[in-house]
Amino acid sequence: MKKATFLAGLLTVLVASVLVVLESGKDSAIVNAASRIKVFSAEKGTYVMSDEVVKTKEEWKKILTPEQFHVLREKGTERAFTGKYATSHEHGIYRCAGCGLDLFRSEDKFESGTGWPSFTAPIAKENVKTEVDRSWFTTRTEVLCRRCGGHLGHVFNDGPKPTGLRYCMNSAALQFVATK
Ligand code: FE
């Protein structure tokens, strides 16, 4: 009788262990799978389905410059008036420097005088995401790339018409492509 109880107990432990292993395997599969997202494509002029871009810190370091890595992956901020797009006025699209997703149009760029490239709106609301940022003893709204999660800058509500918003971006997070 004692032996049977012991065996039953052992069996229960074994079954529980197998379940735990299966369950954790399922979790890691979910974490690793990049979800399909709907984003706007400037080239196609419409919405397209795309995969989220998921990379490790080491993988990002290999493809980004130290400055791009600091801004995009460590939520850094470039010094005002040092970025290459602070005062640019060429016609085109500003893409994510991390994953290439279309983020802003030159038509929505305005001279904010802040020393950072500023826009009244993203190319499509689906292409960016926002999060509450409580760093530096203040509350701001952080703007991130929807596809790779890269930090782009912040959005403030002191912008010009038509939106009244000021998307204050880091040049290092962007890659400009001229269009006609
Ligand atoms: Fe991106």
What is the rounded CA–CA span in Å between residue 108 and residue 121? 6
Least Cα distance to 122 among 148, 94, 99, 141 occurs for 94
* % of the chain surpassing 90 pLDDT: 79
Q: Which residues are catalytic?
A: 168
End-to-end CA distance of the chain: give it in Å, rounded.
85
Lowest mean pLDDT among 10-24, 75-89, 142-156: 10-24
Neighbours of ion ligand 1 (CB under 5 A): 96, 98-99, 101, 145, 147-148, 150
75: CA distance to ligand 1 center in Å? 13
What is the rounded CA–CA span in Å between residue 100 and residue 103? 9
24: CA distance to ligand 1 center in Å? 29
What is the rounded CA–CA span in Å between residue 31 and residue 83? 34
pLDDT (mean) for 70-95: 96
Average pLDDT over all residues of the chain? 89
Predicted pLDDT of residue 19: 47
Least Cα distance to 100 among 127, 131, 140 occurs for 127
81: CA distance to ligand 1 center in Å? 23
Residues 6+ apart with CB under 8 A from 59: none
Least Cα distance to 143 among 114, 101, 112 occurs for 101
99: CA distance to ligand 1 center in Å? 4
Topology of domain 34-178 in CATH is 2.170.150
pLDDT in tens, 116-147: 999 999 999 999 999 999 998 999 999 999 99
Label residues 129-166 b or e (16+ Cβ within 10 Å = b): bbeeeeeeeeebebbbbbbbbbbbbbbbeebeeeeebb
11: CA distance to ligand 1 center in Å? 49
Predicted pLDDT of residue 34: 73
pLDDT in tens, 26-47: 444 445 567 999 999 999 999 9
109: CA distance to ligand 1 center in Å? 19
